[in-house]
Amino acid sequence: MKFYYRTTFPTLHVQTEELADLPLPKQLTDTQEQAITSIVDRILAAKRDNPAADISTLETKLDALIYTLYNLTPSEIKIVEGEV
């Protein structure tokens, strides 16, 4: 979301109409929602237990789920990840 907002909107102030323009997936399946929720819960628990915890593996899994929701291509993923 940070990438999209940073490259789309000119100001740091969030306006209601700008939020309405964000390209959010219309519906998640129960399986997708559970998978995302599970990973986020694990990230939060790890950081609560140890603020310095390495959560990179969980973040990678979460990113992959989000990329799937948006049907991103490998070249689009490289752009989002700053590899281009």
Q: Read off the pLDDT of residues 20-61 as tens digits, 9 standing for 90 and up.
A: 777 777 788 899 999 999 999 999 999 999 999 999 999 999
Inside any domain, residue 19: no
pLDDT at 24: 73
Inside any domain, residue 4: no
Percentage, residues of the chain above pLDDT 90: 55
Task: Please give the tally of structural domains in the chain.
Answer: 1
pTM score, whole prediction = 0.69
User: Contact 23/4 with Cβ under 8 angstroms?
Assistant: yes
d(CA 24, CA 33): 14
Inside any domain, residue 16: no
Inside any domain, residue 55: yes
Inside any domain, residue 79: yes
d(CA 1, CA 33): 17
